[in-house]
């Protein structure tokens, strides 16, 4: 590398780190020299398994994220109950969290099928799990559905234990944001719910190999050399691509090969990783944005709002308002679900659902705050009680 080339590279790095990004597209010498498209783009290679027992079975980070969220909720609820800041008793804390967990899972799955893939509700098969609704590996769950499920679970638990339902929803709303934080981190580890293409100046852009699952057959033909690392000849690969629209076996072979490519990258295969990197689009790590916004930021805001006792429903209403705002903003960096695409005025399905949630939250705040009810909770009271 010549002295002039080194100087240009250092100059670009200095400009990137010190003078902002407004003019970065004009200074593309660093990107073109390294042939990266987006500087410093990280190729995602995280393994979704904490402990992998077989090819498709093991302990996943996603499962641990849910467990961590439920455990955090239990500790917060138990803390309030132990300090007599909630009508919920300490003995009820575990049952309440278990009921809320069921509401999260059931509501999240039903919500995904209704809001994003309604065809799953009518798909019946002869193989387990026999019903598209139960095939959680197809699409997963929807956070808006999970919120509705938690609210229903809290109402059910309140009626069976003669407790104020809105207060239980308050407890679930604030503590549940911790679960959202862990869940979004797990989304990033899984390489799912990826972000939109990133601008050239973004230094933390990420390239997700999982994008290849959505490629057309014409674009998949660019993987001819890469599949050679798996023992598949280029001619065989092209034959599968040509026959896949009509041949189920060819389609199965293609999907299996793509899964092998992803698995190799996750296992640390540097050759395949380096060969596929130029073919991938650098994207916003929107999952991490959402973890910060929907998780940490939202928890912090609700924590401050509940510093003193509040009327039941006050925290829940603010959760609906703040979550909707954060989600609408976050969706600007996230790709819409491929089977749905963009909606009216370039919005996403998540933004439309969040807009409805925002209106509901404002209405609930107005109505619930007017009720004549006893104020409950309050972290200031909990801290004073702990110091005695």
Closest CA to 252 of 260, 263, 244: 244
Mean pLDDT of 44-60: 89
Nearest to 282 by CA among 346, 201, 214: 201
Tell me the pLDDT tens digit for each residue of 68-123. 999 999 999 999 899 888 999 999 999 999 999 999 999 999 999 999 999 999 89
Q: Give the per-residue pLDDT at 343.
A: 93
Q: What is the pLDDT of residue 35?
A: 43
Of all residues in the chain, the percent with pLDDT exceeding 90 is: 73
**280/289 Cα distance (integer angstroms):** 21
- Please give the pLDDT value at position 54: 82
pLDDT for 57 equals: 86
pLDDT of residue 22: 40
pTM of the model: 0.85
Q: Is the pLDDT of residue 137 over 90?
A: no
- Mean pLDDT over 376-380 rounds to 79
- Predicted confidence band at 147 (pLDDT cuts at 50, 70, 90)? very high
> In whole angstroms, what is the distance from residue 388 CA to residue 384 CA?
7
Report the phi/psi class of residue 141: left, alpha or beta, with left for phi > 0 and alpha for psi in -120 to 50.
beta
Q: What is the pLDDT of residue 381?
A: 53
Residue 13 has pLDDT above 90, yes or no: no
Distance of CA 327 to the CA centre of its chain: 11
What are the residue ranges spanned by the domains of the chain?
A: 3-47+205-283, 57-196+290-387
Nearest to 195 by CA among 326, 331, 334: 334
For residue 159, is pLDDT > 50? Answer: yes
């Amino acid at each position: 590398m010549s002295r002039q080339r080194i100087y240009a590279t250092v100059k670009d790095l200095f400009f990137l780190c010190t003078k902002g990004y407004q003019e970065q597209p004009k200074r593309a010498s660093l990107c073109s020299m390294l042939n990266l498209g987006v500087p410093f783009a990280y190729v995602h290679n995280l393994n979704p398994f904490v402990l992998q027992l077989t090819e498709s079975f093991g302990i996943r980070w996603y499962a641990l994220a849910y467990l961590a969220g439920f455990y955090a909720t239990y500790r917060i609820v138990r803390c309030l109950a132990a300090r007599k800041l909630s009508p919920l008793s300490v003995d009820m804390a575990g049952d309440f969290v278990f009921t809320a967990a069921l509401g999260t899972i059931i509501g999240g799955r039903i919500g995904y099928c209704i809001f994003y893939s309604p065809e799953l509700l009518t798909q019946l098969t002869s193989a387990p799990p026999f019903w598209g609704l139960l095939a959680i590996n197809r699409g997963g769950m929807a956070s808006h559905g999970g919120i509705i499920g938690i609210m229903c679970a809290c109402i059910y638990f309140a009626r069976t234990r003669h407790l104020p339902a809105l207060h239980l929803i308050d407890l679930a709303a604030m503590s549940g944001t911790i679960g959202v934080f862990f869940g979004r981190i797990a989304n990033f580890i899984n390489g799912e719910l990826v972000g939109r293409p990133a601008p050239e100046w973004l230094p933390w852009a990420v390239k997700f190999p999982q994008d290849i699952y959505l490629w057309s057959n014409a674009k998949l033909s660019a993987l001819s050399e890469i599949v050679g690392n798996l023992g598949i000849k280029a001619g065989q690969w092209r034959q599968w691509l040509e026959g896949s629209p009509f041949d189920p076996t060819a389609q199965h072979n293609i999907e299996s090969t793509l899964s092998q490519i992803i698995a190799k990258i996750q296992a640390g295969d540097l050759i395949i990783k380096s060969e596929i990197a130029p073919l991938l689009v650098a994207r916003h790590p929107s999952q991490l944005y959402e973890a910060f916004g929907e998780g940490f930021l939202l928890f912090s805001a609700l924590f401050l709002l509940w510093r003193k006792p509040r009327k039941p429903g006050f925290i829940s209403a603010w959760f609906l308002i703040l979550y909707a705002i954060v989600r609408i903003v976050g969706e600007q960096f996230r790709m819409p679900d491929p089977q749905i695409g963009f909606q009216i005025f370039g919005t996403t399905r998540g933004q439309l659902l969040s807009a409805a949630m925002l209106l509901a939250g404002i209405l609930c705040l107005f109505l619930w705050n007017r009720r004549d009810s006893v104020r409950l909770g309050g972290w200031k009271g909990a801290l004073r009680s702990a110091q005695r």
